[in-house]
Amino acid sequence: MIKHYFIFLCCTWLNYSHAIFCQNKAPNIVFIMSDDHAYQAISAYGHNLNNTPNIDRIANEGALFQKSFVTNSICAPSRAVMLTGKHSFVNGKIDNRNAFDWNQDNFAKTLQKQEYTTALIGKIHLKGRPQGFDYTNVLPGQGQYYNPDFIENGKKKNYPGYVTTITTDIALNWLQNKRNPNKPFCLIYNQKAPHRTWMPEEKYFHLFDDTRFPIPDNFFDDYKGRAAAAAHEMGIYEHMSVVYDLKMLDKEGEIKAKYRKSAQKMYNRMSEAQQKKWDTYYDPIIKKFKEDKLEGEALALWKYQRYMQDYLSTIQSVDDGVGEILDYLDRNGLTENTIVVYTSDQGFYLGEHGWFDKRFMYEESFRTPLLMRYPKEIKAGTVVDALVQNIDYAPTLLDYANANSSESLQGLSFRDLVKGVDSGWRNAIYYTYYEYPGGHHVKRHYGIRTNRYKLIHFYHDIDSWELYDLEKDPSEMHNRYGDKAYFSIQKNMHKELEALRTQYGDSDAMNQKLLKLKKKK
């Protein structure tokens, strides 16, 4: 009897000890970032364009952020912000051209000091040897969709196949065979897709053949009262190449369009077998396109439908990869103690204002998807409606890891926020964009967004202000700057804008300094 009681006490103590150990154990982190993935193209956000069941699973089993934004809507700067938790004008990566200083702090370096094993896999788009990672296998620059090159721990290698699948396989291989199983891990797993030029995987060529996508209400926007928007070069009709972007690379060379040589190079990367499948799908589309000889509005609408089919098809492969990662965590008993984050480096236009691409502070490119799962703390089905930004990722993940954050971090941890704790969260966010002169002709600008209003200043070779009432005008079609009815709101927004610029260390003088640095480069 005493023996049995002793065994009972031992088992109880062991179970209790195990529970305390699991409770205090540092969480694993899987941070997933795709490229140019619009929130409209994730079915959890309810826009009904496509179906992403695996990405949705993160929200269904965790949290969906309704007001997640970037600080600078362009690829490399957004990734620099993600790593450093600092605005572009502080971390130094203001556009896609200038260098990134890998010697500065990033959250992966801090996690290494906390005895995490770390890996960076896929697209990072920041030149130089990544620091803060025990293992790296990254795409050079933008990477290629078919038969891509990767740089594994500094050594360039070619991988036959499709980039999204390959990136997932490398990530799974690291999780299964290369990480230190005795340490908590942080995996940054970044997909190239759905970045331009939206080349689908073979199995998804026909996915949207029978789909007719609804045309956005402002597809034929006239940009009245918005001088910077009118100066753009990102229109689907005017600027999207039917050859480079929409795959109308006819063998006869009869279709004349921009970037034909670049399109041919991408096609030439494919193996003979890949080209055969590609031609089987695209050649009939090319033939019909040449026969129809579309012009004007008919051509604009055709380009929109073709764009949506290709863009959304590439996302389906991304969703497959997310499912494989989640399944791996389940099979290996890692789900409960692993934070999973899904986001994109920025949002993207899917025909709104007649556009593709990003860059502007308007909602579709400013706002980015953010979904997060951590069963230990985040209740399934949580919806977060507060204003968060990508400067918040680093401090949040470090908070979960119980790591000391650098004082230079400009973001905030939203750990309490996602648990539903009223933490006196911010009521406004700040944005900057610098890559002008440059592709797509988007003017330099900075601005502030609150829950209801947005104030933007376009500058450099233009001096134009825009004010939007997002409650009454969610599509940002009516610039209210100078409108007497909005005088007091405009005044208050200016006041808040200057307060945020002071808080983060930005100013007109800073812009001039950055301009001089760009000219030197």
SS (H, E, C) 370-419: EEEECCCCCCCCEEECCCEEHHHHHHHHHHHCCCCCCCCCCCCCCHHHHC
State residue 126's pLDDT score.
96
C-beta of residue 309 within 8 angstroms of C-beta of residue 211: yes
68 and 85 in a single domain? The answer is yes
State residue 517's pLDDT score.
66
Is position 7 within any domain? no
339 and 299 in a single domain? The answer is no
- Partners of residue 189 on adjacent β-strands: 32, 121
C-beta of residue 201 within 8 angstroms of C-beta of residue 165: yes
Nearest to 342 by CA among 368, 361, 317: 368
State residue 518's pLDDT score.
63
* Non-local CB neighbours of 406 within 8 Å, separated by 6+ positions: 85, 105, 110
CATH number of the domain that residue 465 is part of:
3.30.1120.10
406 and 500 in a single domain? The answer is no
DSSP 153: T
395 and 491 in a single domain? The answer is no
pTM given for the model: 0.94
Q: Cα 437 from chain centroid? A: 23
384 and 411 in a single domain? The answer is yes
What does the block give as tokens for 428?
């406004």
CA distance 139 to 99: 17
Last residue of a domain, one of 290, 307, 324: 307
Is position 10 within any domain? no
C-beta of residue 43 within 8 angstroms of C-beta of residue 51: yes
**Rg value, the chain, Cα:** 24
44 and 93 in a single domain? The answer is yes
What does the block give as tokens for 376?
């230990």
C-beta of residue 356 within 8 angstroms of C-beta of residue 349: yes
CATH number of the domain that residue 122 is part of:
3.40.720.10
Q: For the residues of 95-116, what is the DSSP string, one character each?
A: SSSS---TTS--HHHHHHHTT-
Nearest to 401 by CA among 13, 26, 140, 50: 26
Is position 507 within any domain? yes
Per-residue pLDDT of the chain in tens (521 residues, 90 and over written 9)? 444 444 444 444 433 333 333 445 899 999 999 999 999 999 999 999 999 999 999 999 999 999 999 999 999 999 999 999 999 999 999 999 999 999 999 999 999 999 999 999 999 999 999 999 999 999 999 999 999 999 999 999 999 999 999 999 999 999 999 999 999 999 999 999 999 999 999 999 999 999 999 999 999 999 999 999 999 999 999 999 999 999 999 999 999 998 999 999 999 999 999 999 999 999 999 999 999 999 999 999 999 999 999 999 999 999 999 999 999 999 999 999 999 999 999 999 999 999 999 999 999 999 999 999 999 999 999 999 999 999 999 999 999 999 987 778 999 999 999 998 877 899 999 999 999 998 899 999 999 999 999 999 999 999 999 999 999 999 999 999 999 999 999 999 999 999 999 999 999 888 887 776 665 55
> CB 478: neighbour CB atoms within 10 A?
15
Please confirm whether the linkage preceding 27 is cis (ω < 30° from 0).
no
Beta strand spans in 192-337 (E)? none
State residue 405's pLDDT score.
76
Is position 384 within any domain? yes
Please confirm whether the linkage preceding 437 is cis (ω < 30° from 0).
yes
Is position 225 within any domain? yes
Nearest to 396 by CA among 414, 384, 378, 408: 414
Is position 476 within any domain? yes
115 and 192 in a single domain? The answer is yes
Q: For the residues of 479-521, what is the DSSP string, one character each?
A: --TT-GGGHHHHHHHHHHHHHHHHHHT--HHHHHHHHHHHHH-
C-beta of residue 44 within 8 angstroms of C-beta of residue 59: yes
CA distance 356 to 245: 11
Last residue of a domain, one of 307, 334, 365: 307
Count of domains observed in the chain: 3
CA distance 294 to 246: 14
Domain hosting residue 368, numbered range:
24-199+314-422
392 and 353 in a single domain? The answer is yes
42 and 158 in a single domain? The answer is yes
300 and 326 in a single domain? The answer is no
> Do the strands 28-34 and 185-190 form a parallel or antiparallel pair, or are they unpaired?
parallel
Q: For the residues of 418-442, what is the DSSP string, one character each?
A: HTT------SEEEEEE---SSGGGP
Is position 284 within any domain? yes
Last residue of a domain, one of 422, 451, 470: 422
39 and 182 in a single domain? The answer is yes
Is position 11 within any domain? no
89 and 177 in a single domain? The answer is yes
| Maximum distance among all Cα pairs of the chain, rounded to whole angstroms | 92
CA distance 34 to 43: 15
